[in-house]
Amino acid sequence: MISLEDARSLVLGQVEPLGIEEAPILDMIGRVAAEDLTSDINISPFANSAMDGFAMRAAQLEGASPDAPVELDVIAEVPAGAWYGGEIGEGQCVRIMTGAPLPEAADSVVKYEIVDVVLGDGRVGSRVAFTAPTALGSCVRAAGEEAKAGEVIVHAGEVVHSAGVGFLAGCGVTRCKTYRRPRVAIIATGSELVEPTEVPSQGKIRNSNSYALAACAIDAGAEPTVLPISPDDFEGLRAEVVAAAAEYDFVVTSGGAANGDYDFIKKVVDDAGELLMTTVNMRPGKAQTFGVVDGTPVFGLPGNPAAAYLGFEMIIRPALRKMQGYSHFERPHVEARLAASTKKKDPRRIFNRATLSKDGEGYLVTLAKNQSSGLFGPIQKSNCFVVLPEGEARVFEEGELVDCVLLDIPEEVLL
């Protein structure tokens, strides 16, 4: 039995970033850029006004005060998209809108709200008064403020977020090289399983794992395919795993991973490829099988839903992320006070479904009543797992600080 950290390293060691493809920027949300991206022009291409107001040289307003306002004639108007290339004389200014190019003859903008119109309506032909000086460059956004032409704006390895999609669009980048999404085969094994569309007959249950695991795969950026249920039969499972290993980037099975009479995944991996791992020091989910078949990673998760889910989230997800070029593999953790005491009965590292909340003293965590490894429901209703470390069985007291891992929050986030 190996530690969770060793299991993760072992699996990470068997995968590499996949091939590179080009994606339109809207398909880049949350994905890793596989190349340095540059802007073709300065962003913004020209100095422009940050406010609706009046443009002039700051020196024209020197000494302005409520008692001795500086009055200027409005000689032109520059809306966004227009251009004013003329002179601005000593007693003159230009009406300007947000985003409009700053005239070359001006160096500053004063917003409307603090300018008094003394003659006319404030538009061309009017006279306006300034009751205070303005700082050189006030309300002006410099040319190239966000990016210079030719400058790298997103580096290879960087995750592109929604704002980044806009940044790229502004810089003229509409397509981006990224790592291909891993194609993940998902195989449920068990002679008791029927599809969710069926009402199970006596002794049968619905295959819920494949759908949770496909959902986890999508959440990890992968492209899952739910393959047909494989009954508990060595030859049948072997054939399905071998065929999947030939076609997909990663094969995930659930069920039949322990030592029962009808548990075949370890034997299948050992027989068809190389078996590298069988058990991990965690609960739920000790029986975690991993190996390589035909060069493809094959992971045999346990059948119990919570155990399968945890194995996927803790060990498979980091591997699928590495295949897509991500460099963070650790979900955010926080320390929280236990809302009630709990007995740890097993020396393994225990993951308990729980709900984290915040009060005046910090984080408080309440364990779900039902910790059965056979259930998805309590995970759906929880927002974290409490991690009770390896070691002697003991009581964790109310108020004791415990580590909580937040499985719904991206790895990059620091809490």
Q: Which residues contact 167 (CB under 8 A, 6 or more apart)?
A: 146, 147, 153, 154
Task: Tell me how far, at minimum, the Cβ of 258 lies from Mg ion, in Å.
Answer: 8
Residue with tokens 């029962």: 260
Task: Tell me how far, at minimum, the Cβ of 232 lies from Mg ion, in Å.
Answer: 6
Task: Tell me how far, at minimum, the Cβ of 258 lies from ligand AMP, in Å.
Answer: 5
Nearer to ligand AMP, 96 or 229 (CB): 229
How far CA 184 is from CA of 131, 224, 348, in Å, comes to 68, 5, 29
258 binds, among ligand AMP, Mg ion, none (CB under 5 to 8 A by kind): ligand AMP
How far CA 116 is from CA of 71, 93, 140, 228, 336, in Å, comes to 9, 13, 20, 76, 57
The DSSP bridge pattern shows strands 152-154 and 37-38 to be: antiparallel
Residue 184 exposed, middle or buried by CB count within 10 Å (0-12, 13-18, 19+):
buried
Give kind and range of the element (H or E) at residue 246.
helix 234-247
AA letter at 155: H
By CB under 6 A, tell whether 224 contacts ligand AMP. no
Nearer to Mg ion, 101 or 303 (CB): 303
Nearer to ligand AMP, 42 or 253 (CB): 253
Angle at 308 between CA 19 and CA 402, to 5 degrees: 105
318 binds, among ligand AMP, Mg ion, none (CB under 5 to 8 A by kind): none
By CB under 6 A, tell whether 205 contacts ligand AMP. yes
Task: Tell me how far, at minimum, the Cβ of 356 lies from ligand AMP, in Å.
Answer: 27
Task: Tell me how far, at minimum, the Cβ of 303 lies from Mg ion, in Å.
Answer: 5
By CB under 6 A, tell whether 310 contacts ligand AMP. no
By CB under 6 A, tell whether 207 contacts ligand AMP. yes
Contact with ligand AMP (CB under 6 A): which of 53, 122, 273, 305?
305
In degrees rounded to 5, what are phi and psi of residue 235? -65, -45
- Separation CA 187–CA 264 (nearest Å): 13
Contact with ligand AMP (CB under 6 A): which of 73, 151, 192, 219?
192
Residue 197 exposed, middle or buried by CB count within 10 Å (0-12, 13-18, 19+):
exposed
**b/e code 38-58 from CB counts within 10 Å (16+ = b):** bbeebbbeebbbebbbbbbbb
Nearer to Mg ion, 39 or 304 (CB): 304
- Separation CA 237–CA 252 (nearest Å): 12
By CB under 6 A, tell whether 188 contacts ligand AMP. yes
- Separation CA 327–CA 209 (nearest Å): 28
Contact with ligand AMP (CB under 6 A): which of 4, 23, 115, 258?
258
Task: Tell me how far, at minimum, the Cβ of 213 lies from ligand AMP, in Å.
Answer: 9
Nearer to ligand AMP, 58 or 193 (CB): 193
**Following CA atoms 48, 52, 56, 62 in sequence, which dihedral angle do they give, to the nearest 10 degrees?**
-120
Contact with ligand AMP (CB under 6 A): which of 53, 101, 302, 332?
302
How far CA 63 is from CA of 54, 108, 135, 355, in Å, comes to 18, 16, 12, 62
Tell me how long the chain is. Answer: 415
Nearer to ligand AMP, 192 or 294 (CB): 192
By CB under 6 A, tell whether 133 contacts ligand AMP. no
Contact with ligand AMP (CB under 6 A): which of 53, 255, 285, 300?
255
Candidates 12-20, 75-83, 135-143, 252-260: pick the segment binding ligand AMP (CB under 6 A): 252-260
Chain residues in the site for Mg ion (CB under 5 A): 190, 255-256, 303
By CB under 6 A, tell whether 257 contacts ligand AMP. yes
Other CB atoms within 10 A of residue 71 CB: 14
Task: Tell me how far, at minimum, the Cβ of 260 lies from ligand AMP, in Å.
Answer: 6
Contact with ligand AMP (CB under 6 A): which of 193, 214, 251, 306?
193
Largest CA distance in the chain: 97
Task: Tell me how far, at minimum, the Cβ of 204 lies from ligand AMP, in Å.
Answer: 9
Contact with ligand AMP (CB under 6 A): which of 209, 288, 289, 342?
209
Residues that bind ligand AMP (CB under 6 A): 188, 190, 192-193, 205, 207-210, 254-258, 260, 302-305, 374
